[in-house]
């Protein structure tokens, strides 16, 4: 799974136990007794909250999951406000994050500079005389974060995960996904028009007349669309094998002379004789278009990409133009406060430095210890579940358990922190700070090329509310940001924590065995470890997941995309199941005493519904359905639970209830 996710609790939860030696019980308020749990468990638990929750105008949604990153940014902003006002030693973490934040908060200087910071880049585009010069510009700008038609990165080799290699990925478009260029429904057309208007506005802000800007915007859009035609769909991108295409640079250079791979990689500073081209059709198309499209049109395209890439860090008219487009896509009606935007920017650019300050203030060591205990229980429960599978042979079970026990567990924050000593930060040079951080990040990545993989590296910051599974390292990662209510509470009862963070842990472990993860062995290499018969049975079961989730309606006639979300849905179904089994390994899991009127089993399932308590604007929900590999929050609750027999028992779900599935229709994979 590519890193993805988690957000704000706006619902009320209060403690009912008061002694320091007892685990507190979290009161589940707002149950809607007019809804049968077996009809819609999400609305039974969250409906009253959902009907009354107000989405702030600066946000596209509210609640848990990714929207918890909103209050996280407020926490980070408080840290940044404090360190930016202190007299910190030059070169210290506090100085770098504090001055970076201060430079971005200095809107007077930023507005005074207008688009002067990117003038040299725009002038250099004007000086491009031929395709080789164009590709040299693309490479040189990629090294400072200004990307356009090339997506270049360094990451493990899928078939030799101990070594980092060069990768190239499809890119080049400005709409959220390739499908947006070819759909003709009203909401998509509105987004297309907003994007064209945005491009035209950028051209006007940099000196073009309105008529000229509109003409140039259409030229850029048409180039985008031609590039998009070569893109693989999000469903096609799930095919691990099809998206691994390691090629000799010499052969690529011969086949795609306009791109000129030898010179391109030399300009990138990347010394390698091979590269994994994830989606070859994109670069084949790019090679053709480089000469098929007039050079002056390509120059317009590069100008548009440059201005757009930097629009959020230039003066207010550029920030406003960016937001006018973004709000059509996301439904967010008002720009975020500057402090919140800057907290996100600092976290994005030098987040491991900021993460050190966050962990020191908000993440106690005892929470890490209890979290590890929960993870270990989930692993034990998973091993038992593998042993009991009735569809898998003993030989494949053995390999599955070897992979399970080989998982690396990362909790809270990294063991070693990233060094930002080469990043230059000055209080009055916001744009230059951005470029310095991006240039440093590029060199940090480039230094890994053809080197052994550092298994201690993290790919998200500690303050981010997310969790992820990295199949090439066979690791699961739980940053400090998610280790807070409603997911995890070090003082709370086990029912709450196993239904909360337990589901998340089970979810991430299952990614080790989902439709993509199952193609990697215990060392993180793409290698088959299945018998042919077992893998066929596994594929049949994942098809059941696809078929079921295709039936779930989200908005009007808009359905969950089963094939695009199959990995996440598989992880949700099995994540709940294994979390329940792990809960049964605790003392409370064997208890029957009610708290707040609910049994331990009921509290476990109530906790699952609470962690997905989310409300989104319709525009953002459409964006989600079209682009996010996760199902919407309601179906992250109802989908797994309608396949879980213990949920049926806990809430007396009967035939005739809307969530009821006959036993032979319930999905059991792991």
In the prediction, which pLDDT does 590 show?
93
Residues 249 and 386 in one domain: no
Residues 378 and 268 in one domain: no
Q: Which of 274, 296, 313 lies at the terminal end of a domain, its last residue?
A: 313
- Average pLDDT of the segment spanning 269-274: 98
Q: What is the pLDDT of residues 174-187, one digit of tens each?
A: 999 999 999 999 99
Does residue 312 come out as left (phi exceeding 0), alpha (psi in the -120 to 50 range) or beta? Answer: alpha
Q: How confident is the model at residue 69 (pLDDT cuts 50, 70, 90)?
A: confident
170 pLDDT above the threshold of 50:
yes
What percent of the chain is modeled with pLDDT above 90? 92
- For residue 124, the domain's CATH number is 1.10.1380.10
Rg of the chain on CA atoms, in Å: 25
Residues 166 and 304 in one domain: yes
In the prediction, which pLDDT does 65 show?
87
Number of domains in the chain: 2
Q: Does the residue 576 lie in any domain? A: yes
Q: What is the pLDDT of residues 591-647, one digit of tens each?
A: 999 988 899 999 999 999 999 999 999 999 999 999 999 999 999 999 999 999 999
Residues 552 and 623 in one domain: yes
- Average pLDDT of the segment spanning 465-493: 95
Residues 231 and 378 in one domain: no
In the prediction, which pLDDT does 27 show?
59
Q: Does the residue 129 lie in any domain? A: yes
| 287: containing domain | 115-313
Q: Which long-range contacts (CB under 8 A, 24 or more apart) does 97-100 make?
A: 97/346, 97/350, 97/353, 97/354, 97/357, 99/425, 99/426, 99/427, 99/433, 100/345, 100/346, 100/349, 100/350, 100/425, 100/433, 100/437
> How far is it, in rounded angstroms, from Cα 416 to Cα 397?
35
> How far is it, in rounded angstroms, from Cα 385 to Cα 574?
10
- Average pLDDT of the segment spanning 114-132: 98
Q: How confident is the model at residue 418 (pLDDT cuts 50, 70, 90)?
A: very high
Q: How confident is the model at residue 415 (pLDDT cuts 50, 70, 90)?
A: very high
Distances in whole angstroms, Cα of residue 253 to Cα of each of 130, 260, 287: 18, 5, 10
13 pLDDT above the threshold of 60:
no
In the prediction, which pLDDT does 10 show?
25
Residues 374 and 308 in one domain: no
Residues 508 and 614 in one domain: yes
In the prediction, which pLDDT does 5 show?
30
In the prediction, which pLDDT does 314 show?
98
Q: How confident is the model at residue 29 (pLDDT cuts 50, 70, 90)?
A: confident
Q: Which of 313, 343, 373 lies at the terminal end of a domain, its last residue?
A: 313
Q: Does the residue 11 lie in any domain? A: no
- Chain-centre distance for alpha carbon 195: 23
Residues 274 and 371 in one domain: no
569 pLDDT above the threshold of 50:
yes
When comparing pLDDT for 450 and 10, which is higher?
Answer: 450
Measured at the CA of 545, the angle between CA 599 and CA 565, to 5 degrees, comes to: 100
> How far is it, in rounded angstroms, from Cα 236 to Cα 246?
18
Residues 309 and 367 in one domain: no
198 pLDDT above the threshold of 90:
yes
Place of tokens 């202190």: 86
- Check: CB of residue 448 under 8 Å from CB of residue 327: no
- Average pLDDT of the segment spanning 49-74: 93
- Average pLDDT of the segment spanning 519-539: 97
- Check: CB of residue 126 under 8 Å from CB of residue 299: yes
In the prediction, which pLDDT does 362 show?
93
- Average pLDDT of the segment spanning 176-201: 97
Q: How confident is the model at residue 21 (pLDDT cuts 50, 70, 90)?
A: very low
In the prediction, which pLDDT does 288 show?
98
Residues 151 and 222 in one domain: yes
In the prediction, which pLDDT does 510 show?
98
What percent of the chain is modeled with pLDDT above 70? 96
Q: Does the residue 84 lie in any domain? A: no
Q: What share of the chain is helix, strand, coil (3-state, %, to 5)?
A: 55, 10, 35
Q: What is the pLDDT of residues 219-234, one digit of tens each?
A: 999 999 999 999 999 9
563 pLDDT above the threshold of 80:
yes
- DSSP lists the bridge partners of residue 614 as 63
Q: Does the residue 343 lie in any domain? A: no
- Check: CB of residue 308 under 8 Å from CB of residue 174: yes
Stretch among 7-16, 375-384, 488-497 having the lowest mean pLDDT: 7-16
22 pLDDT above the threshold of 70:
no
Q: Does the residue 328 lie in any domain? A: no
Phi/psi of residue 209, nearest 5 degrees: -75, 165
12 pLDDT above the threshold of 80:
no
Q: Which of 255, 282, 313 lies at the terminal end of a domain, its last residue?
A: 313
Q: What is the pLDDT of residues 310-361, one digit of tens each?
A: 999 999 999 999 999 999 999 999 999 999 999 999 999 999 999 999 999 9
Residues 304 and 369 in one domain: no
Q: Does the residue 322 lie in any domain? A: no
Residues 61 and 120 in one domain: no
- For residue 613, the domain's CATH number is 3.40.390.10
In the prediction, which pLDDT does 386 show?
98
When comparing pLDDT for 230 and 66, which is higher?
Answer: 230
- Name the pTM for this structure: 0.93
Q: Does the residue 428 lie in any domain? A: no
């Amino acid at each position: 799974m590519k890193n993805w996710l988690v957000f704000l609790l706006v619902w009320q939860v209060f403690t009912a136990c008061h002694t320091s030696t007892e685990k507190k019980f979290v009161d589940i308020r707002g149950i809607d007794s007019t809804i049968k749990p077996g009809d819609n468990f999400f609305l039974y638990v969250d409906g009253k909250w959902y009907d009354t929750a107000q989405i702030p105008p600066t946000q596209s949604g509210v609640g848990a999951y990714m929207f918890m990153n909103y209050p996280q940014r407020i926490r980070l902003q408080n840290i940044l406000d404090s360190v930016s006002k202190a007299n910190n030693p030059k070169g210290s973490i506090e100085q770098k994050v504090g001055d970076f934040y201060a430079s971005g908060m200095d809107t007077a200087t930023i507005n005074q500079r207008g688009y002067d910071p990117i003038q040299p880049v725009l002038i250099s585009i004007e000086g491009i005389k031929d395709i080789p010069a164009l590709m040299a510009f693309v490479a040189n700008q990629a090294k400072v974060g200004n990307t356009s038609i090339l997506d270049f990165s360094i990451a493990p080799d899928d078939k030799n995960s101990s070594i980092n290699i060069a990768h190239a990925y499809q890119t080049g478009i400005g709409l959220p996904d390739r499908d947006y260029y070819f759909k003709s429904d009203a909401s998509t057309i509105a987004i297309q028009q907003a994007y064209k208007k945005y491009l035209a506005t950028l051209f006007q802000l940099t000196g073009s007349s309105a008529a000229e800007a509109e003409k140039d915007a259409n030229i850029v859009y048409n180039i985008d669309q031609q590039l998009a035609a070569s893109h693989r769909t999000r469903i096609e991108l799930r095919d691990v094998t099809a998206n691994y295409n390691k090629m000799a640079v010499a052969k690529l250079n011969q086949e795609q002379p306009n791109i000129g791979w030898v010179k391109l990689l030399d300009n990138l500073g990347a010394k390698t004789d091979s590269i994994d081209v994830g989606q070859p059709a994109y670069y084949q198309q790019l090679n053709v278009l480089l000469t098929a499209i007039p050079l002056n049109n390509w120059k317009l395209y590069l100008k548009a990409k440059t201005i757009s890439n930097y629009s959020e860090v230039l003066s207010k008219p550029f920030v406003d133009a960016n937001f006018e487009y973004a709000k059509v896509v996301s439904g967010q009606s008002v720009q975020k406060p500057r402090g919140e935007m800057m907290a996100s920017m600092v976290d994005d650019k030098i987040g491991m430095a900021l993460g050190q300050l966050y962990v020191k203030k908000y993440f106690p060591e005892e929470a890490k210890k209890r979290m590890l205990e929960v993870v270990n229980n989930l692993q034990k429960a998973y091993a038992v579940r593998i042993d009991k599978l009735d569809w898998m042979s003993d030989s494949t079970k053995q390999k599955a358990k070897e992979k399970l026990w080989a998982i690396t567990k990362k909790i809270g924050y990294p063991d070693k922190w990233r060094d930002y000593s080469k990043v230059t930060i000055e209080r009055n040079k916001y744009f230059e700070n951005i470029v310095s951080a991006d240039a440093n990040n590029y060199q940090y990545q480039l230094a890994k090329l053809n080197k052994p993989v550092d298994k201690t590296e993290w790919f998200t910051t500690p303050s981010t509310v997310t969790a992820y599974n990295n199949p090439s390292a066979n690791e699961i990662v739980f940053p400090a940001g998610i280790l807070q209510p409603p997911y995890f509470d070090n003082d709370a009862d086990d029912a709450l924590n196993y239904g909360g963070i337990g589901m998340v842990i089970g979810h991430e472990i299952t990614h080790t065995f989902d439709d993509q993860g199952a193609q990697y062995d215990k060392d993180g290499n793409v290698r088959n470890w299945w018998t042919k018969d077992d893998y066929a049975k596994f594929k049949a079961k994942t098809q059941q997941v696809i078929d079921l989730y295709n039936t779930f309606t989200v908005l009007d006639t808009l359905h969950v995309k089963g094939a695009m979300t199959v990995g996440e849905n598989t992880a949700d179904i099995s994540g709940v199941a294994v979390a329940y089994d792990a809960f049964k390994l605790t003392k409370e899991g064997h208890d029957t005493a009610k708290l707040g009127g609910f049994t331990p089993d009921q509290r476990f399932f109530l906790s699952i519904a609470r962690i997905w308590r989310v409300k989104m604007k319709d525009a953002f929900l459409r964006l989600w359905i079209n682009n996010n590999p996760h199902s919407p929050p309601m179906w992250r609750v109802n989908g797994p639970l309608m396949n879980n027999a213990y949920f049926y028992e806990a809430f007396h779900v009967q035939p005739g209830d809307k969530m009821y599935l006959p036993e032979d229709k319930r999905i059991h994979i792991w």
